Amino acid sequence: MTTTITCSQLSPALGDLEHNLTMTVAAIKDAVEHGSQVVVLPELVTSGYSFATAAEARAAGMTRNDSIFDDWIAAAAGAAVVIGGFAEVDEAGTMFNSAVLLDPAGGRTFYRKTHLWDREKSVFAPGNELPPVVPTQFGAIGLLICYDMEFPELTRHLALAGADLLAVPANWPLLEIPPIGEHPAEVVIAMSTARVNHVAVACCDRSGEERGQRWTQASTIVAADGWIASQSNGQTLISAELDLEASQTKSISQRNDLFADRRTDLYRLEDAAEHD
């Protein structure tokens, strides 16, 4: 059985919730019409990214009860899981760079980015919980947001927790041009993450320009073998059909298993809470 995964590399308008609502609903409908069963939207797709102040971000803040999630679920028409980023404000007024996973079966799972990038640190509070792995009818989906993926402890944690697919809403700021022939560094990291954990990875970057900031625009879906299944070369919608069950075997040779071969007698990766 294969699962059709889509990344919608949208260009949200900064602070324009209404525009972004219309845009994301249309993108989800479009993806589902193309047969998508897992739709990944960018980080902060409801709000845009380049806030000058915390107050500006707060004006674009949403609670977990925001009606946009009902609209996304309706747009998915029972056919697809939707993952996307939003600027979350909690009851105390604290802002988080968050993502939601909406399951057509009704579940809603939230995650607050735990590794904040650069000026996000002056706008958002970091999340204080490890990312979830959400069982869905299409497989177990682990959530990460952008810079989170650069921490191998976190990607390993999700793989060990049973993730078949890492869904990664991202805004990859264009900070360097890769050497000729090379993928952007974020893509190299996604490929390696897939390979060493034998897990699929779907990174949804954004497009557009915002206050002079441009984006890498290289959304990439990587299969569990570490090779790219689909990559944006500027186009908004990319899709790949992946066998997500393949992520469940960690066997890579007759005598090797990526998880069983870990030398847990020599090193241990643990949830910090486990032995506090």
Please state the φ and ψ torsions of residue 205, each to the nearest 5 degrees.
-80, 175
Which residue, 106 or 275, has its beta carbon nearer to its own copies?
Answer: 275
CB atoms within 10 A of CB 4: 19
| Alpha carbon distance 255, 74 (integer Å) | 47
| Alpha carbon distance 55, 214 (integer Å) | 23
Cβ atoms of 167 and 143 within 8 Å: the answer is: yes
Residues 192-211, one symbol each (x = binds its own copies by CB under 8 A, - = not), give xx-xx---------------
Which residue, 86 or 147, has its beta carbon nearer to its own copies?
Answer: 147
Which residue, 65 or 253, has its beta carbon nearer to its own copies?
Answer: 253
Binding window for its own copies (CB under 8 A); candidates: 41-49, 113-121, 210-218, 230-238 = 113-121
**Residue 214 engages its own copies in binding (rule: CB under 8 A):** no
Smallest Cα–Cα separation from 215: which of 7, 55, 5, 10? 10
Which residue, 29 or 156, has its beta carbon nearer to its own copies?
Answer: 156
**Residue 256 engages its own copies in binding (rule: CB under 8 A):** yes
Integer Rg of the chain from CA: 18
Strand 237-242 to 228-231 pairing: unpaired
Binding window for its own copies (CB under 8 A); candidates: 13-21, 83-91, 117-125, 207-215 = 117-125
**Residue 53 engages its own copies in binding (rule: CB under 8 A):** no
Cβ atoms of 50 and 210 within 8 Å: the answer is: yes
Binding window for its own copies (CB under 8 A); candidates: 19-27, 64-72, 88-96, 115-123 = 115-123
Least gap, CB of 267 to its own copies (angstroms): 5
Query: Of the candidates 157, 163, 201, 217, which one interacts with its own copies according to CB under 8 A?
Result: 157
Instruction: Quickly list H helices, 161-257.
Output: 185-197
**Measured distance between the N- and C-terminal CA atoms of the chain, rounded to whole angstroms:** 42
Please state the φ and ψ torsions of residue 141, each to the nearest 5 degrees.
-115, 120
How many residues can be counted in the chain? 276
- Hey, what are 189's tokens? 């990291």
**Residue 262 engages its own copies in binding (rule: CB under 8 A):** yes
**Residue 67 engages its own copies in binding (rule: CB under 8 A):** no
**Residue 114 engages its own copies in binding (rule: CB under 8 A):** yes
**Which residues sit at the interface with its own copies, rule CB under 8 A?**
114-115, 117-119, 121, 126, 128-130, 147, 150-157, 178-179, 181-182, 185, 188-189, 191-193, 195-196, 226-228, 253-256, 258, 261-273, 275
